[in-house]
């Protein structure tokens, strides 16, 4: 009887123990269903198209491409580009156990399905959309923006993925409160000196989404390109109605009321007549009875200024336009006025686009219409821009590596057709696949260039430069700060640090990353610029708190654990190299390091730590 | 070391040996280290006391007790008979004959980040290009091979609004930052004993060599090795001692005041002695939107002793003739006192103090009218009358650059292909010595 009563709880305990054992013995990553491209043939064709185009270029320039890189090195590149860190020892073991011929493509897909990808890539892309400054906290919340962007990038099932063009339209046309609707922060980031800065938003829109720089046209016509100041202002006028209300960011209603054509005769230069004031007051009760009003005339439109104190310092109030039926009066809040830099007079700018106005949307606000134009399927700049940026994030430098990532030539410029052909191939595939960012990444990372060694086939300086320009060798670039700290933290742990890690580990990663990036210096939205390191950075890597902590031989750190479980000095050295550099030591390196780990010296404190230190500070790390 | 002129021999050793052997004439063109030069012969340096947050001109260099917007701040006489400053700065009152005051600086940037950018670079923020700060311009245009520590240093920095950047000149000109000057020299010392450091460096050489093999050109382009070598040079340099204040007499340390800012000013003087070109010392906490008067009393209690001690100390070490000292923040504060007893941001008529380095002293430029300012405060900035005799920040910088033998109009081709002048201002003749 007694035993029978004890059985149920005993089963529960046994059951739990069994389940835990199963759960802990199953490597979660080992046999995950990964989201591979639907049609592999078609996918391979897309990759081949890029490879063929580059091959053509190499032949034309007489370049011989670098040989294929070792699979482990490609895995390291993928991990740094998609997760901002290096593979853990645990991942390396699993990868090496995977003997399928397409393991790199499978692992790419698996990494894209990992939430570390959406977290990391959202931050990278956010830099081009809203920069890195925290800005005016009250109406700009960068954390809400990146959170929103992460959510957009997260779904992995192809049918649930959000197309990139839809994400962009959400940003340009967003409205509401910035804390609830993350995308609105794209617009509130453009708030400076107590006002929305249409110029900043316009420059940002063209740079981030169209990959071009028209900022200089803000003050004068672009010196080298075809952009004019008029074009800039016309684009900026699309943001002219953005305003703050109790319901968050909204477009100010431009139009106020209409007046019959007789009223037009009342409009003369100078002070307004009493009659006109009365007419206006009938329609707008907010207009004060004794407001000083002045009419500034400019052909068919009139600018009314209003002030409470004196005739000086009048502020724009109404805009009246002549229409076939009379006058259409709108509030200056809903219009885009620009002070002329030369004459200091105010000019009214109507929204316009520099080319193909037929692409503009036909419905909604000015911003809704602009959003459709920017992402229009025929607007080649749009897909080129994202292809170039994603290429840059994967390789460390943009496809057109001698230009800024957001300074692409115009599609009309025939002389650049050869240079940009790869971007167009990638762009077309991107459009044909529902503007799917993951697909774009999969295609680029499967190209021959991405899987190539960084050792050039020549030692001729000129040819190396040419090979780098044409992607005939994998480029060596400086790691970005978040990659440096991500790699240091991962190398210090045998298990993968991801969403399955203990909360404490993840918290520590978060704090360490913030602190390190702050001290290391952050290039912000210019992170794809090629810059040399600084002395402060070298000092931080060699002597900083992170280097000290991370190379400690505590029982729980990787150096400590590796030293603990590696059966032989050879194994120990191999594990250190794999954990830090994702490769095994060369014979020359073994000859140097092994004596340190053998015999008397091997038991000295700090030997493993000093190996780790050297690996952290090497140019390869 | 097989020959006196072998490459292994350091410049300093060569100089020492050569002078010992009486063959110093064999070493032409080797100028003396800055540390060995005095007075006007020394290459000039710049110390900027950065008043982060925007100090109130009314509570510092431009008091107006007669105005209803002057608040409780009194004006006191100084060693310059024509100048009165706020009563919060009694020690500085004794030094004003050495310095000049500009009371009419104007800027269009009323936001901390943008204002800081503007006042540190002389250019308004743009999206296409990052302009270099004044300190980086000086470090890049007036290099000195004898200095093994960074030529551009920022002391007592916090998270701040903007760190002085090298901008288009390159990250290597970013200010080298020290959070707590004189206290702990962060990251500048090796963390293990010499024997282990030796082992670490040998290890590093071995792994670096493997990676470099076949990738020589690509790896060298990253300057990785070069930067590590420079960092190691600095770690073992005697000049690093300039960052320490342990050996300074207690009386000297006390005179500067026991604060991060005070110690920063002392370290700044020591860095100038070593020939460091540009040093910024930051005093945070001027953003007094509430309790402005109490706030400035606290701020000035740090500023006054440190600034006065610095000027006096530079003079005693015969360094004032070769060191320009500038005290400035991103903007001033409104004449109107807000309901919280605070003052808000005011870029239209704020003050700075500048002097030393051979600049003319005792000059007072510009006047402000807080009553009119208060009246116009809520109107659009374009309709403001502004101060009398307004001075543009770029003009101030053109003055400093000229005095430090850098041509402000010199154009640099920026990474975006557009040539930009180092500074767009015109030197203020009244200040040039």
B224 with A200: Cβ contact below 8 A: no
Mutate to test the interface with A, among B115, B152, B154, B231 (most CBs of A within 10 A): B231
Cα(A44)–Cα(A35) distance, integer angstroms: 15
Confidence of residue B180 (pLDDT cuts 50, 70, 90): confident
Concatenating the DSSP letter of every residue in A354-401 gives: SS-GGGS-SSSSHHHHHHHHHT-TT-HHHHHHHHHHHHHHHHSS-SST
- Residue B410 clears pLDDT 50, i.e. is over it: yes
Q: What is the pLDDT of residue A550?
A: 66
Q: pLDDT value at position B110? A: 85
pLDDT at B22: 39
pLDDT-derived band at A269 (thresholds 50, 70, 90) equals low
Better-scored residue on pLDDT, A611 or B171:
A611
Least confident of A91-95, B174-178, B273-277: B174-178
Which of B208, B218, B380 is the closest to A618 by Cβ?
Answer: B208
Q: Does the beta carbon of B225 lie under 8 angstroms from any beta carbon of chain A?
A: yes
Q: Are residues B204 and B61 in the same domain?
A: no
Partner-chain contact A133 B235, CB within 8 Å? no
Does the residue B181 lie in any domain? yes
Question: Closest chain A residue to B416 measured between Cα atoms?
Answer: A404
Has residue A205 got a pLDDT over 50? yes
Nearest to A394 by CA among A443, A466, A427, A435: A443
The beta-carbon contacts of A585-593 under 8 Å, at least 24 apart in sequence, are A586/B210, A588/B206, A588/B209, A588/B210, A589/B206, A589/B207, A589/B210, A592/B202, A592/B203, A592/B206, A593/B203, A593/B206
Interface of A with B in 295-334 (CB under 8 A): 312-313, 315
Q: How far is A23 from chain B (nearest CA, A)?
A: 39
- What's the gap in Å between the CA of B222 and the closest CA on chain A? 6
Tell me the chain B residues in contact with residue A224 when contact means C-beta distances shorter than 8 Å: 417
Same domain, B90 and B234: no
Residue A493 is predicted with a pLDDT of 83
In a domain, B34, yes or no: no
A207, A599, A558: which is closest to A386 by C-alpha?
A207
B192:A456 CB<8 A: no
| Residues B286 and B375 reside in one and the same domain | yes
* Contact across the interface for B214 and A531, Cβ inside 8 Å: no
pLDDT of residue A606: 84
Chain A hits for B198, CB-CB cut-off 8 Å, are: none
Q: Among positive and negative, which fits the CA dihedral A141, A142, A145, A151? A: negative
Residue of B nearest to A223 (CA): B418
The sign of the torsion formed by the CA atoms of A136, A139, A144, A149 equals negative
Contact yes or no for B383 and A213 at CB 8 A:
no
What mean pLDDT is predicted for residues B323-340? 95
The pLDDT assigned to B304 comes to: 98
Q: From the CA of A211, how many Å to the nearest CA of chain B?
A: 13
Q: Does B135 lie in the same domain as B94? A: yes
**Confidence check: pLDDT of A247 > 60:** yes
pLDDT of residue B129: 83
Whether B343 is in a domain gets the answer: yes
A593/B206 CB distance under 8 A: yes
- Quick one: B179 and B113 in the same domain? yes
Q: Is A456 a residue whose pLDDT tops 80?
A: yes
Both B252 and B339 in a single domain?
A: yes
What are the tens digits of pLDDT across the range A148-157?
999 999 998 8
- In this complex, which of B114, B208, B380 lies closest to A313 when CB atoms are compared? B380
pLDDT exceeds cutoff 60 at A104: yes
Residues with Cβ within 8 Å of B238's Cβ and at least 6 positions away in sequence, in order, are: none
Q: What is the pLDDT of residue A15?
A: 63
What percentage of chain A has pLDDT greater than the value 70? 82
Cross-strand pairs, B165: none
In chain B, what percentage of residues exceed pLDDT 90? 68
Least confident of A585-599, B19-33, B231-245: B19-33
For residue B35, is it within any domain?
Answer: no
Q: Determine contact, residues A258/A329, Cβ cutoff 8 Å.
A: yes
pLDDT single digits (tens) A368-416 = 999 999 999 999 999 999 999 999 999 999 999 888 898 899 898 888 9
Query: What pLDDT shows up at residue B198?
Result: 94
Is the domain of B197 the same as that of B181?
Answer: no
Average pLDDT of span A57-84: 96
- Whether chain A has a CB inside 8 Å of the CB on B224: the answer is yes
Whether B216 and chain A come into contact, CB under 8 Å, resolves to yes
**Distance of alpha carbon B43 from alpha carbon A354, whole angstroms:** 53
Which residue has better confidence, B52 or A131? B52
Tell me the chain B residues in contact with residue A204 when contact means C-beta distances shorter than 8 Å: 127
CATH of residue B52: 3.40.720.10
For residue B176, the distance in angstroms to the closest alpha carbon of chain A comes to: 7
On whether any CB of chain B is under 8 Å from the CB of A294, the answer is no
In-domain check, residue B321: yes
Would you call A220 an interface residue with chain B, using a CB distance cutoff of 8 Å? Answer: no
Is the distance from CB of A464 to CB of A456 less than 8 angstroms?
yes
Q: What is the mean pLDDT of chain B?
A: 88
Residues 15-74 of A with CB under 8 A from B: none
In this prediction, residues A483-494 reach a mean pLDDT of 87
So where are chain A's domains? 117-244+354-374, 255-334, 551-617
Both B119 and B253 in a single domain? yes
CA–CA min distance B311, chain A (Å): 29
Interface confidence, given as ipTM, is 0.83
pLDDT for B1: 34
CB pairs under 8 A between A and B: 165
Q: Is A169 on the interface with B (CB under 8 A)?
A: no
Q: Which residue of B has its CA nearest to A613?
A: B200
Asked whether the beta carbons of residue A618 and residue B211 sit closer than 8 angstroms, the reply is: yes
User: pLDDT for B126-156, tens place per residue?
Assistant: 867 889 999 999 999 999 989 999 999 999 8
pTM score: 0.78
The values of phi and psi at residue B229, to 5°, are: -60, -40
Number of domains in chain B: 2
Q: Per-residue confidence at A97, pLDDT binned at 50, 70, 90?
A: very high
> Do residues B275 and B410 share a domain?
yes
Contacts A592 to B, Cβ<8 Å? 202-203, 206
> What is the pLDDT at residue B130?
87
Averaged pLDDT of chain A: 84
CA gap B408, B123 in Å, rounded: 13
pLDDT at A94: 95
Distance from A92 to chain B by nearest Cα, in Å? 20
Q: Which residues of A touch B348 (CB under 8 A)?
A: none
Other C-beta atoms lying within 10 Å of the C-beta of residue A494: 18
Closest-CA distance, B431 to chain A, in angstroms, reads 31
Residue with tokens 């308004």: B124
pLDDT tens digits for range A489-546: 888 888 888 888 888 878 877 888 888 887 777 777 777 777 777 888 899 889 988 7
Scanning B182-211 for CB atoms below 8 A from A yields 186-192, 196, 199-200, 202-204, 206-211
Tokens of A32: 């995950």
User: What band does B176 get if pLDDT is binned at 50, 70 and 90?
Assistant: confident
Interface of A with B in 124-143 (CB under 8 A): 133, 135-136
Is residue B31 domain-resident?
A: no
Closest CA to B332 of B60, B10, B46, B18: B60
Confidence label for B17 from pLDDT (cuts 50, 70 and 90): very low
State the residue range of the domain holding B198: 186-243
Distance, CA of A362 to CA of A591 (rounded, Å): 71
Say what the pLDDT of residue A555 is: 58
Residues in Cβ contact with A206 at an 8 Å cutoff, skipping those fewer than 6 apart: A212, A213, A214, A235
Q: Which CA distances in Å does B57 have to A206, B287, B353?
A: 41, 12, 11
CA distance A234 to A226: 15
pLDDT band at A258 (very low <50, low <70, confident <90, very high): confident
Is there a single domain that holds both residue B232 and residue B253? Answer: no
Q: Which residues of B touch A532 (CB under 8 A)?
A: 170-172, 222-223, 227
Specify whether B113 is located in the same domain as B193.
no
**Lowest mean pLDDT, pick from A518-532, B201-215, B343-357:** A518-532
pLDDT tens-place string over residues A271-328: 566 777 777 778 877 776 666 666 665 555 555 555 554 545 556 677 777 788 888 8
Mapping DSSP to helix (H, G, I), strand (E, B) and coil, where does residue A238 land?
A: helix
């Amino acid at each position: 009887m007694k035993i029978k009563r004890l059985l149920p709880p005993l089963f529960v305990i046994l059951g739990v123990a069994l389940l835990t054992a199963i759960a802990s013995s199953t490597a979660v990553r080992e046999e995950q269903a990964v989201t591979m491209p639907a049609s592999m043939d078609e996918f391979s064709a897309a990759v081949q198209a890029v490879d063929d185009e580059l091959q053509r270029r190499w032949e034309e320039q007489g370049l011989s491409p670098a040989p294929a890189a070792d699979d482990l090195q490609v895995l390291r590149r993928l991990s740094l580009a998609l997760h901002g860190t290096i593979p853990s020892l645990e991942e390396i073991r699993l990868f090496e156990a995977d003997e399928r011929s397409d393991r790199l493509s499978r692992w790419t897909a698996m990494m894209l399905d990992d939430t570390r990808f959406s977290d990391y890539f959202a931050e990278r892309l956010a830099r081009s959309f809203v920069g890195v400054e925290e800005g005016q906290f009250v109406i700009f919340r960068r954390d809400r923006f990146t959170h929103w962007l992460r959510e957009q990038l997260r779904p992995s099932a192809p049918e649930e993925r959000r197309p990139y063009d839809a994400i962009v339209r959400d940003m340009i046309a967003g409205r509401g409160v910035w804390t609830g609707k993350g995308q609105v922060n794209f617009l509130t980031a453009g708030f400076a000196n107590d006002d929305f800065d249409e110029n900043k938003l316009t420059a940002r829109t063209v740079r981030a989404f169209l990959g071009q720089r028209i900022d200089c046209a803000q003050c004068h016509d672009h010196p080298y390109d075809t952009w004019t100041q008029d074009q800039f202002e016309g684009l900026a006028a699309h943001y002219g109605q953005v305003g703050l209300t109790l319901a968050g960011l909204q477009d100010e209603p431009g139009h106020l009321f209409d007046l019959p054509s007789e009223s037009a005769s009342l409009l003369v230069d100078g002070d307004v007549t009493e009659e006109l004031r009365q007419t206006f007051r009938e329609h707008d009760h907010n207009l004060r009875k004794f407001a000083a009003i002045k009419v500034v005339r400019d052909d068919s439109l009139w600018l009314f200024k209003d002030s409470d104190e004196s005739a000086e310092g009048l502020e724009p109030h109404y805009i009246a336009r002549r229409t076939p039926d009379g006058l259409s009066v709108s509030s200056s809040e809903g219009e885009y006025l620009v002070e002329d830099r030369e004459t200091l007079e105010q000019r009214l700018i109507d929204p316009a686009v520099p080319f193909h106005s037929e692409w503009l949307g036909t419905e909604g606000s000015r911003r809704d219409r602009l959003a459709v134009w920017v992402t229009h399927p025929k607007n080649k700049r749009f897909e080129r821009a994202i292809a170039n940026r994603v290429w840059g994030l994967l390789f460390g430098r943009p496809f057109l590596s001698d230009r800024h990532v957001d300074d692409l030539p115009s599609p009309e410029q025939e002389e650049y057709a050869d240079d940009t052909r790869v971007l167009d191939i990638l762009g077309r595939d991107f459009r044909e696949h529902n503007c799917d960012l993951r697909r774009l990444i999969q295609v680029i990372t499967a190209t021959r260039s991405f899987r190539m060694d960084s050792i050039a086939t020549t030692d001729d300086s000129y040819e190396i430069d040419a090979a780098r320009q044409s992607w005939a060798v994998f480029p060596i670039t400086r790691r970005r700060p978040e990659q440096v700290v991500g790699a240091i933290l991962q190398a210090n742990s045998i298990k993968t640090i991801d969403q399955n890690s203990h909360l404490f580990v993840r918290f520590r990663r978060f704090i360490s990353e913030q602190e390190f990036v702050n001290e290391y210096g952050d290039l912000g939205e210019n992170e794809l610029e090629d810059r040399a390191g600084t002395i402060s950075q070298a000092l931080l890597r060699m002597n900083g708190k992170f280097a000290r902590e991370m190379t400690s031989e505590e029982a729980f750190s990787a150096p400590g654990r590796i030293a603990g479980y590696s059966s032989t000095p050879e194994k120990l050295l191999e594990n250190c190299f794999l954990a830090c550099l994702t490769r095994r030591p060369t014979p020359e390196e073994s000859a140097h390091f092994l004596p340190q780990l053998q015999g008397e010296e091997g038991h000295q404190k700090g030997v493993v730590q000093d190996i780790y230190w050297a690996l952290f500070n090497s140019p390869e790390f | 070391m097989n020959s006196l002129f072998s490459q292994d021999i350091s410049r300093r050793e060569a100089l020492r040996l050569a002078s010992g052997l009486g063959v110093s004439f064999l070493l032409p063109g080797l100028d003396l280290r800055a540390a060995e030069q005095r007075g006007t012969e020394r290459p000039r340096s710049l110390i900027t006391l950065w008043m982060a947050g925007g100090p109130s001109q009314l509570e510092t260099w431009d008091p107006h007790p007669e105005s209803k917007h002057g608040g409780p701040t009194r004006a006191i006489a100084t060693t310059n008979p024509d100048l009165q400053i706020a009563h919060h700065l009694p020690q500085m009152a004794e030094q004003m004959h050495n310095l000049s005051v500009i009371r009419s600086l104007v800027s269009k940037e009323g936001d901390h980040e943008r204002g800081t950018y503007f006042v540190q670079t002389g250019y308004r923020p743009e999206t296409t290009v990052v302009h270099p700060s004044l300190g980086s311009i000086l470090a890049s245009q007036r290099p000195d091979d004898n200095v093994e520590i960074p030529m551009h240093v920022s002391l007592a920095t916090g998270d701040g609004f903007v760190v002085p950047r090298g901008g288009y000149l390159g990250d290597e000109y970013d200010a080298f930052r020290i959070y707590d000057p004189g206290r702990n020299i962060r990251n500048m010392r090796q963390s293990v004993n010499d024997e282990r450091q030796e082992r670490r460096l040998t290890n590093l050489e071995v792994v670096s060599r493997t990676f470099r093999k076949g990738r020589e050109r690509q790896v060298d382009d990253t300057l990785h090795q070069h930067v590590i070598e420079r960092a190691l040079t600095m770690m073992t340099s005697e000049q690093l001692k300039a960052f320490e204040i342990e050996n300074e007499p207690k009386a000297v340390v006390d005179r500067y005041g026991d604060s991060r800012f005070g110690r920063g000013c002392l370290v700044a003087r020591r860095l100038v002695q070593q020939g460091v070109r540009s040093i910024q010392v930051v005093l945070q906490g001027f953003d007094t939107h509430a309790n402005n008067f109490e706030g400035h009393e606290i701020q000035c209690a740090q500023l006054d002793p440190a600034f006065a001690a610095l000027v006096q100390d530079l003079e005693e070490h015969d360094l004032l003739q070769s060191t320009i000292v500038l005290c400035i923040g991103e903007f001033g504060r409104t004449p109107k006192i807000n309901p919280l007893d605070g003052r808000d941001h005011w870029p239209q008529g704020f003050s700075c103090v500048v002097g030393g380095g051979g600049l003319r002293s005792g000059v007072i430029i510009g006047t402000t009218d807080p009553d009119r300012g208060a009246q116009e405060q809520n109107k659009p900035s374009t309709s403001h009358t502004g101060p009398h005799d307004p001075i543009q920040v770029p003009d101030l910088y053109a003055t400093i650059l000229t005095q430090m033998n850098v041509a402000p109009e010199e154009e640099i081709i920026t990474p975006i292909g557009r040539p930009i002048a180092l500074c767009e201002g015109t030197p203020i003749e009244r200040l040039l010595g």
